[in-house]
Amino acid sequence: MSLVLRVTGGNKFQKSICNDTIQFAINRLLPNIRKLDVNIQIKKFKDGDDCIGYCLDDSSDPVDYVGKSPRRFVIEISNALNLTEFIRCILHEFIHLKQYVLGEMEELGDGSTRWKSRACSRKMKYHDTPWEKEAYRLESRLMWEALEIQEFKIG
């Protein structure tokens, strides 16, 4: 397996939790994926910014793909979150990474997004998009599973 995972920013505890949460997410959501390059940046977001995390497909070279599936990503996470929010945000953004890797979601050149077999307008409201519905639906359940596994580190 060619897994490259880099975590920058944040404090030592955040880096450790981030590393363990991503390992959990890979095992749980992408157990058969053998190539993945993930750069996680724990950082301060702008004041007043509603967003607390992003997942960006950072694939640009042919070596960044397996077939049409991107394998290089940047995930940005706010450093101002409490523990459960932090883990939930990491998992939410990793669910988007999974959607890209498995070809469930693809950004199209015209600004729209393809979800599974249909194009979705960029005018759709954030919470109405199917990829966000899936991420919100899965994040809490995965967060509790991840917390159970990581309990010995937190206590």
| Tens-place pLDDT, residues 5-30 | 999 999 999 999 999 999 999 999 99
What DSSP state is assigned to residue 45? P
CB proximity list for 100: less than 8 A, separation 6 or greater: 55, 57, 69, 70, 73, 106
| 3-state SS class at 107 | strand
d(CA 11, CA 97): 24
Averaged pLDDT, 37-63: 90
Our CA angle for 36, 126, 110, nearest 5°, is 70
pLDDT value at position 153? 61
Task: Of 17, 9, 151, 152, give the one whose Cα is nearest residue 82.
Answer: 17
The model scores a pTM over 0.85: yes
Top CATH class, 2-154: alpha beta
> Beta strands 35-43 and 53-57: pairing type?
unpaired
d(CA 121, CA 118): 10
